[in-house]
Chain A
Amino acid sequence: MSLLNPIVNILPDLNKAFLETIYMVGVSLAVALLIGLPLGVLLFTTTRNLFFESGIVNRSLGFAVNIVRSIPFIILLVALLPLTDLLTGSTIGPRAASVSLSVSAIPFFARIVETALREIDRGVIEAAIAVGATPWMIIKDVLLPEAKPGIIQGLTLTTISLIGYSAMAGTIGGGGIGDLAIRYGYYRYDNTVMITTIVVLICLVQLIQMVGDKVSYIVNKR
């Protein structure tokens, strides 16, 4: 009982931290899906010989995506503080941290979607063009279903990366498990909390990976 005591004591804190992390990851994942998915589709369909072929659009989007992706997250976090303040009215807390997390997740996920779409056999897209399908039908009924296993793998990857980034965001006042680890592990040398956090994180990531793999396997008809 005495061994479990420290854990029981921090249970409310731990609980709150995890809920905050899940909130941050959830929000930014939703934004990544909402904006990153269409962006990835646009990146792909504007390439040569595809129905939205446009060198200018493709290059500008690619450039924008690369800029965001080349900034280390911790710097992006600081650089985006004014935007964060504008959007959420605050620069601390999980809500504020979700802004920079979303901004970094969008291009990350968009590239993953683009890569998954590139894997599709060109002939399948041509066959759809040849039956007279509209671009929208091709995207909805050919591109996305064909790339679904890859996109789900990408979603798994994005979720796991976001958990890592959310911890970084936590260190500068974002809340969540990063914040917890700093407060207990760094300032108070409390190993119990540290180890508990790590164990829970490992379990969480394993679980996400497992679910992701399983779903991706189920939707793969190849």
Chain B
Amino acid sequence: MIEIRSIRKEYVSKKNRVIGVDNVSLTIQTGEIYGIVGYSGAGKSSLLRCLNLLERPTGGNIIIDGIDLTSLSSKELRKQRQKIGMIFQHFSLVSSKTVYENVAFALRAAHRSKDATKLRVLELLEIVGLSDKKDVYPAQLSGGQKQRVGIARALANEPTVLLCDEATSALDPTTTKAILQLLKKISSELGITIVLITHEMEVVKELCHRVAVMQDGRVIEEGPVYEIFSQPKQELTKQFISSVLDFELPSHLIDESEGTIIKIQFEGQTAGESILSDTLQSHAVKGNILHGKIEYIQDVPLGILIIELIGDAVQIHSALEYIKNRSSSVEVLKHVTA
């Protein structure tokens, strides 16, 4: 379990003082995949780097599995860091060392014997699917392969936590998918807690159990991913999830339609289509589906339908009530009463 308690990080230079993280407190459960999103400069990296004290917080405590990192001597801290893996946006491999040596370095830092190191490196390269590249230098690898080496290095000392700072931002979509799958596998098979920073909600949707939204150094909203997607509260959160959920309805479609246009959101197992057909059967209204989409967030469906309802005011009103009782949210985009 990671407990982040009132973390503040200020960067002081000769001329000014920048607040990177402003009093953030979070608890991340063991085995969880935790996402942190926010625009550039929101303080995501600063917060993440405080977790292994790569950046020493100006105030607050970081407690991982009961140990307060901020109170450790440098020797004890080095030992704890071996239990916190980290992967980087630009991979950060030692270019003068082979794949094998890059991974072995982490094990030597933990004083493993030569034989144990060798066995473990080969095992790790197997996990990340790079056994055939063991004697190659990083320059000869693709981005995705480099990140796999980074992951192998981060996992070397059997960490309980894995920190990922934009681990897929430098990769193409296909490679990104593969790396995300690998992280998912690591999380489920090894039970490692993963904290990852991203600016893509797609990554959160695919991978995370919980998510925090950061703005100006603060966490403005936090919760289970499905909840954040289905019931966002902050404007910024809505902006972020709209990149996944929203679709543009051509404005002429709204202008030209003669009926009332509503947007319905369905959560979980409620099937949108059946509610719609029930509504149409029990009310004297006509309905046209203008647009629809179902997203699976952690394998739970979240559906959105945009429907045009045509009929008299009373019937439409009662149909709306009927739908409201059966779906999680209904938004009227255009109201027309005949």
Cα of A124 to Cα of B77 in the assembled complex, Å? 19
**Contacting residues, chain B, for A130 (C-beta < 8 A):** 52, 54, 81, 84-86
Interface string of B71-85 (1 = CB under 8 A from A): 000000111111011
Judge whether B95 and A131 touch: CB under 8 Å: no
A93-151, CB < 8 A from B: 121, 123-124, 126-134, 137, 141-142, 145-146, 148
Please state if A222 and B139 are interface contacts (CB–CB under 8 Å): yes
Of B81, B94, B95, B150, which is in contact with the most chain A CB atoms at under 10 Å from its CB? B94
Complexed CA–CA distance, A132 and B85 (Å): 10
| Residues of B51-87 contacting chain A, CB below 8 A | 52, 54, 77-82, 84-86
Q: Does B305 contact A (CB under 8 A)?
A: no
Q: Which of B96, B150, B153 contacts A145 (CB 8 A)?
A: B96
In the assembled complex, which residues on chain B have CB atoms less than 8 Å from the CB atom of A142?
A: 94, 105
Contacts of A148 in B (CB 8 A): 96
Which residues of the partner chain A approach B92 to less than 8 Å between Cβ atoms? 121, 123-124, 126-127
User: Of residues 51 to 104 in A, which have CB atoms within 8 Å of B's CB atoms?
Assistant: none
Tell me if A188 is interfacial: C-beta within 8 Å of chain B.
Answer: no
Q: How many A-B residue pairs have CB under 8 A?
A: 83
B156 at the interface (CB under 8 A from A): yes
- Rounded to whole Å, the gap between the CB of A217 and the closest CB of chain B is 13
In B90-109, which residues have CB < 8 Å from any A CB?
90, 92-97, 105-106, 108-109
**B residues within 8 Å of A by Cβ?**
52, 54, 77-82, 84-86, 88, 90, 92-97, 105-106, 108-110, 137-139, 150, 153-154, 156-157
- When distances are taken between beta carbons in the complex, the residues of chain B under 8 Å from A131 are 81-82, 85, 105-106, 109, 153-154, 156-157
Contact A123 B109 (CB under 8 A): no
Chain A residues with a Cβ closer than 8 Å to the other chain, count: 21
Chain A residues at the B interface, C-beta cutoff of 8 Å: 121, 123-124, 126-134, 137, 141-142, 145-146, 148, 219, 221-222
Q: A124-B92, A130-B54, A146-B94 are in contact. List 10 more A-B contacts (CB 8 A).
A: A121-B90, A126-B88, A130-B52, A131-B82, A132-B81, A133-B109, A145-B97, A219-B96, A221-B139, A222-B96
Most buried by B among A131, A141, A146: A131
**B residues in contact with A134, CB < 8 Å:** 78, 109
Nearest 8 CB-CB pairings of A with B: A123-B92, A132-B81, A145-B96, A127-B92, A133-B109, A131-B106, A132-B82, A132-B78
Report yes or no: A221 in contact with B96, Cβ–Cβ below 8 A.
Answer: yes
Cα-based distance from A41 to B84 in the complex (angstroms): 28
Neighbour of B105 across the interface among A121, A126, A141, A146, CB < 8 A: A141
A146 contacts B96, CB within 8 Å? yes
CB < 8 Å: which of A126, A133, A141 contacts B54?
A126
Q: Measured between alpha carbons, how far is A129 from B110 in the docked complex, in Å?
A: 12
User: How far, in whole Å, are A219 and B97 apart by their CA atoms in the complex?
Assistant: 11
Give bound CA distance, A127 to B154, whole Å: 9
* Closest CB in chain B relative to A144 CB, distance in Å: 9
Q: Which residues of A contact B88 (CB under 8 A)?
A: 123, 126-127
Q: Find chain A residues with CB under 8 A from B84 CB.
A: 130
In the assembly, what is the distance between CA of A123 and CA of B138, in Å? 15
Contact A221 B137 (CB under 8 A): yes
A residues less than 8 Å from B86 (CB atoms) = 127, 130
* Contacting residues, chain A, for B82 (C-beta < 8 A): 131-132
Can you spell out 10 A-B residue pairs with CB atoms less than 8 angstroms apart?
A: A127-B150, A128-B109, A129-B81, A131-B106, A131-B154, A132-B109, A133-B109, A141-B94, A141-B108, A222-B95
Q: State the Cβ distance, A148 to closest chain B Cβ, in Å.
A: 6
CB distance from B110 to the nearest CB of A (A): 7
Q: Which residues of B contact A145 (CB under 8 A)?
A: 94, 96-97
> How far does the Cβ of B277 sit from chain A's closest Cβ, in whole Å?
56
Q: B69 → chain A, closest Cβ, in Å?
A: 12
Bound CA–CA A133/B54 (angstroms): 13
In the bound complex, CA of A222 to CA of B141 (Å): 11
Q: Is the Cβ of A133 less than 8 Å from the Cβ of B79?
A: no
| Nearest-neighbor residue (CB-CB) of B96 within chain A | A145
B302 to chain A, nearest CB (A): 36
**Chain A, Cβ-Cβ closest to B88:** A123
A128→B88 CA distance, assembly (Å): 12
Question: Closest CB of chain B to A45's CB: distance in Å?
Answer: 14
Contact B79 A127 (CB under 8 A): no
Contacts of B93 in A (CB 8 A): 124, 127
Chain A neighbourhood of B156, CB < 8 A:
131
Chain B contacts for A126, CB-based, 8 A? 54, 88, 92
| Whole-angstrom CA separation of A145 from B98 in the bound complex | 12
Nearest residue (CB) in A for B80 is A132
Residue of A nearest to B95 (CB): A222
CA distance A131 to B106 in the complex (A): 6
Complex Cα–Cα for A127 and B94 (A): 9
CB distance from B158 to the nearest CB of A (A): 12
